[in-house]
């Protein structure tokens, strides 16, 4: 049995008639260890995107930062991360929990994914054991160059309700990038394809459409553009409709983290959409000590 693909991914691949081809491709590129080029990328990055589950098994996406070298691989099966979620981050780490990692270098549009199990945790960071490691194509990534900035101590995290604040809505309306965390219902450590994933979504500024009716929750409409047919995220959402979203203000370092439930809308003519209904969230002003240059939009969005 191909343990690199779970039931949700397989169902979507079968719907498009690409299951047999993708089973072969994923069997070749999804590895239980990090190739040298994946290690090289992680070890030079100043940020790491992380997806995980809270005590209620709600997905959250977050970002950790550190001087390049804050991540290193003692061997091809383990990644040490010398950083932890800050106070106020809704994602709390625990030994044995599954995590999804994304190493993204925006200015070169390189990105590598790693799903694994947290096997060691201390006051300085954590170590993840690799369950799956694989690369992604550069589609829809906006090229931007980071630089370190000195910021005041971050303000206390502010709770966002299901009906988002004006500041949160302003960030969403201008966003060209988001990160989404998802999982299978059986997500646990050392489980092959059954785990947690965090992935990138990009589009033209304002690509996330927002609706809100009366006093109801905020609903986000996220287009799902044509990708590599792995369906890591959509496959998870098909079998477990809960997700976490992360939006980064690339100037101020503000972070908006949301958790909610989704519905997959599939129109053969108009394409796919993730409809995300906000359950709750956290606004963390000035949480990231980085600032990025103006984006060079992905050429795949300009066609």
- Burial string for 122-154 (b: 16+ CB within 10 Å, else e) reads eeebbbbebbbbbbbebbbbbbbebeeeeeeeb
Residue range 259-266: mean pLDDT, rounded: 94
Distance CA 45, CA 62 (A): 15
**Any bridge partners for residue 116, and if so which?**
99, 130
pLDDT digits (tens, 9 = 90+) for 146-203: 999 999 888 899 999 999 999 999 999 999 999 999 998 877 655 556 789 999 999 9
Q: How confident is the model at residue 86 (pLDDT cuts 50, 70, 90)?
A: very high
Q: How far apart are CA 97 and CA 301, in angstroms?
A: 36
CB atoms within 10 A of CB 28: 10
Dist. CA 70–CA 41, nearest whole Å: 12
Whether the predicted pLDDT of 29 surpasses 90: no
Q: Locate tokens 């209904």: which residue?
A: 277
pLDDT of residue 254: 97
User: Worst-scoring range by mean pLDDT, 186-190, 204-208, 214-218?
Assistant: 186-190
Task: Note whether 203 and 150 are within 8 A (CB).
Answer: no
* Residues 29-34, mean pLDDT to the nearest whole number: 88
Query: What pLDDT does 229 receive?
Result: 60
Q: Tell me which H or E stretch contains 263.
A: strand 255-267
CA distance 29 to 41: 17
pLDDT value at residue 21: 72
Taking the C-alpha atoms of residue 173 and residue 183, their distance in angstroms, rounded to an integer, is 26
Which residues does 91 contact at the CB level (< 8 Å), separation at least 6? 50, 52, 54, 60, 61, 62, 85, 257
Question: Coil, strand, or helix at residue 296?
Answer: strand
pLDDT of 280 over the 90 cut: yes
Say which residues have a Cβ less than 8 Å from residue 254's Cβ, sequence separation at least 6: 171, 248, 283, 284, 285, 286, 287, 288
Beta bridge partners of 79: 128
CA 220 from chain center: how many Å? 16
Q: Outline where the chain has alpha helix (H).
A: 7-15, 19-29, 36-44, 166-174, 232-239
- The count of other CB atoms within 10 Å of the CB of residue 110 is 18
Token pair in block for residue 105: 């270098």
| Token pair listed for 255 | 């972070």
């Amino acid at each position: 049995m191909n343990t690199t693909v779970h039931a949700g991914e397989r169902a979507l691949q079968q719907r498009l008639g690409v299951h047999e081809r993708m089973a072969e491709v994923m069997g070749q590129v999804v590895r239980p260890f990090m190739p040298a080029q994946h290690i090289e990328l992680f070890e030079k990055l100043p940020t790491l995107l992380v997806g995980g589950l809270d005590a209620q098994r709600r997905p959250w996406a977050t970002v950790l930062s550190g001087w390049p070298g804050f991540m290193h691989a003692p061997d091809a099966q383990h990644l040490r991360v010398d950083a932890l979620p800050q106070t106020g981050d809704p994602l709390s780490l625990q030994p044995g929990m599954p995590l999804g990692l994304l190493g993204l270098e925006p200015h070169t549009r390189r990105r590598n994914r790693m799903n694994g199990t947290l096997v060691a945790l201390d006051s300085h960071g954590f170590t993840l054991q690799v369950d799956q490691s694989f690369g992604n194509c550069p589609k829809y990534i906006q090229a931007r160059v980071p630089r370190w900035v000195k910021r005041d101590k971050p303000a206390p995290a502010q709770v966002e309700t299901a009906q988002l604040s004006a500041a949160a809505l302003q960030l969403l309306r201008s966003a060209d990038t988001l990160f989404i965390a998802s999982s299978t219902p059986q997500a646990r450590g050392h489980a092959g394809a059954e785990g947690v994933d965090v992935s990138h979504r990009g589009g033209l500024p304002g690509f996330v459409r927002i609706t809100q009716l009366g006093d109801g929750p905020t609903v986000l409409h996220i287009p799902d553009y044509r990708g590599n047919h792995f369906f890591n995220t959509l496959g998870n959402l098909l079998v477990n409709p809960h997700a976490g979203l992360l939006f980064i203000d690339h100037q101020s370092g503000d972070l908006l983290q949301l958790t909610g439930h989704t519905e997959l809308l599939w129109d053969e003519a108009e394409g796919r959409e993730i409809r995300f209904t906000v359950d709750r969230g956290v606004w963390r002003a000035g949480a990231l000590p980085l600032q990025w240059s103006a984006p060079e939009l992905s050429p795949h969005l300009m066609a």
